[in-house]
Structure 1
């Protein structure tokens, strides 16, 4: 009797999801050499052997106005995709992040008997924990990157597994600072401030002017300060260049990098960044940081009034530690003066920086679990 090779359908919606998908496919293929993989992905998933019916870029829209503009196309794409997946009859469907697109797709497939996995939990630890129950209506199993997440899902009767974070696997426990400085052309003994204003254009427009003012204030106190600013892509670089060239501030000696965010962080004495995955990355690079973030005032008022924010902290290093290891300056506190003051404290207190490193290393080790292999193990149970 001929036994059909296992079929795994996957949908990833942006670069980070594409990388996660590629790692997962490599691990699943090692277990099932004849398996077939198809769905939505980017270059990394194609290189891993996924038959991409659509490119991940077709899902990569951000911001309310952009989503609304693309909504009819996205809904058509999801309808066509769910039908094609159902006809292909996969053993398992894996939605990788992109919850706005994937959870609805997963729910439709689950109702028709397809095993569904959601890889990367939305931030239910931060706000709207009740989403966990609704996610369970879509996914038979949730694969979590952070250790505090499965307990939240358990309270809502949802099967969730902590698999670790791929960034923790990829970044060395002891990063090579000299090599990072050589890679980006920064003198070994120069004081360095890395500035990461975000990877979305709206975030750059909102945060970079404040960050540049803060950098100018730091430069007044730190002679010879070098400023490094990684740009996530060409559009981000153009926005950063425009804001730099239009600034009348006494900006310190600066380098604008294409990507190379990790090298910039490892090379830096202090990192100034908007909250998000960048804060986790800076923690894994063992660098002291200052988190500054603002959202629209109207949005912030709604979040506060409805009590939607459940976590004491917004930055992942503090959330994981359960205490304030790094300063978070949010909304009205996110001013150039306060950001500069917090950064200067790190420059002035090498003993505080030294005390931070073992805390960051312990958190790194907690997240360093071989995420792709553990995710594959959790999915493998359902592959015939």
Structure 2
């Protein structure tokens, strides 16, 4: 019955948000699109929050997401079946627009298939072709109507390589947090350097996938044991609902305060420093001006594939990519040890100059990701009008 009602609506729009971060991106513009275009019906891949907004899920993002090359390989049959099903649904519904968010390998394949059928593809969050597979810029020019970029230098990079319709927009985290924070407020709440002799609030952000959380927590607490010899640490941690609770159990009695996913901003407001998994959360740390040490661990096979086939030696954490330099130390693979984590954090705990330098640099973050003149729902809405004649 629900599907019949959905198909009775004229404006069928495919939306693919195959990871939690993709859903968060979608939530920054989809509600406004729905308000502006009440006849639009969104279907595709998403999570509970998009479903609650009225999107019809063909697949839940929990079934869709994967971590690392080895896990992706194991899910290849699933992804091929999903491509076929989604393509068939687009044809059945006569959908004329597809909004594809990040999730690069899957969405690039889907974009090529859909563009051949005349579907206008709006690709939101450009693939990091500047890091590897630069040839994808040509593919994007051929199969996308508009490419939306969220990292400052990307708009020019893609235009220089022939992608004509590129729109640089504010990073979704800007929409989430710019009204919540201000330099003045953060200056008032930041702990003076001399107070670190009394106590240090350290926030643990081990990630949202079982493999990375399991690998990082042991290193985090080894670092904590080292740091406790010299500092009075207050430990807090953000726990992900996507992670098996048993992974956290051995460490819970060593944590003073636990936050859930949705409390990340509050956790950062209380933190002096953080240990963070590589990913979007590093940019959130930078926005809240929390100096962080970034760690990344993966399987031996993933490490081999990375160093063998990916010709990229730049920063991997989003905070460093946005700043176009290393502001947060990055400890990858065998360097992600408790000893190295502790030593990296000490650079700010033992030197006022280092601490004040990083805090000054972090103040730039919210401005670097601000393209507040951009109107994402407006741009996408124009394509909806173009396709459906409203």
Contact preservation (8 Å) 2:17, 2:61: yes
Secondary structure of the structure 1 residue equivalent to 2:39? coil
79-88 vs 36-45, greater mean Cα deviation: 36-45
Paired position in structure 2 for 1:72: 77
Displacement of 1:146 after TM fit? 0.8
Among 300, 303, 314, which residue is 2:316 paired with? 314
Paired position in structure 1 for 2:221: 212
Secondary structure of the structure 1 residue equivalent to 2:229? helix
Give distance in 1, aligned partners of 2:229 and 2:343: 12
Change beyond 3 A, Cα 1:164–1:254: same
Q: Is 1:364 the equivalent of 2:366?
A: yes
Aligned length: 365
In the TM superposition, what are the counterparts of 1:181-192 in structure 2 within 5 Å? 190-192=199-201
Displacement of 1:305 after TM fit? 4.9
Change beyond 3 A, Cα 1:65–1:21: same
Give distance in 2, aligned partners of 1:113 and 1:104: 15
Deviations 1:76-122 (A, max 9, x none): 23212211112322231111222232222221110011101111122
Q: Is 1:166 the equivalent of 2:166?
A: no
Change beyond 3 A, Cα 1:104–1:48: same
Paired position in structure 1 for 2:19: 14
Give distance in 2, aligned partners of 1:112 and 1:265: 46
Paired position in structure 1 for 2:6: none
110-119 vs 123-132, greater mean Cα deviation: 123-132
Displacement of 1:307 after TM fit? 5.8
Give distance in 2, aligned partners of 1:91 and 1:203: 38
Change beyond 3 A, Cα 1:295–1:39: closer
Paired position in structure 1 for 2:340: 338
Displacement of 1:231 after TM fit? 1.4
Deviations 1:304-342 (A, max 9, x none): 45561152x222222222333222233443332222122
Displacement of 1:281 after TM fit? 1.0
Secondary structure of the structure 2 residue equivalent to 1:83? helix
Paired position in structure 2 for 1:197: 206
Q: Is 1:285 the equivalent of 2:296?
A: no
Give distance in 2, aligned partners of 1:255 and 1:148: 38
In the TM superposition, what are the counterparts of 1:249-264 in structure 2 within 5 Å? 254-259=256-261, 260-264=263-267
Displacement of 1:30 after TM fit? 3.6
Contact preservation (8 Å) 2:111, 2:143: yes
Q: Is 1:379 the equivalent of 2:380?
A: yes
In the TM superposition, what are the counterparts of 1:262-281 in structure 2 within 5 Å? 262-281=265-284
Change beyond 3 A, Cα 1:240–1:122: farther
Give distance in 2, aligned partners of 1:326 and 1:17: 24
Give distance in 2, aligned partners of 1:156 and 1:193: 43
Give distance in 2, aligned partners of 1:319 and 1:333: 20
Deviations 1:230-251 (A, max 9, x none): 1111634421223x27xxxxx9
Contact preservation (8 Å) 1:177, 1:267: no
269-278 vs 351-360, greater mean Cα deviation: 351-360
Q: Is 1:230 the equivalent of 2:233?
A: no
Contact preservation (8 Å) 1:86, 1:109: no
Give distance in 2, aligned partners of 1:80 and 1:307: 31
289-298 vs 272-281, greater mean Cα deviation: 289-298
Secondary structure of the structure 2 residue equivalent to 1:194? strand
Give distance in 2, aligned partners of 1:321 and 1:294: 23
**TM-score, length-scaled by structure 1:** 0.84
Secondary structure of the structure 1 residue equivalent to 2:106? helix
Displacement of 1:291 after TM fit? 1.6
Paired position in structure 1 for 2:103: 98
Change beyond 3 A, Cα 1:222–1:109: same
Give RMSD over aligned pairs: 3.0
Displacement of 1:302 after TM fit? 4.8
Deviations 1:143-165 (A, max 9, x none): 11111112222233223221121
Paired position in structure 1 for 2:144: 139
Give distance in 2, aligned partners of 1:323 and 1:18: 28
Q: Is 1:241 the equivalent of 2:249?
A: yes
Contact preservation (8 Å) 1:166, 1:368: no
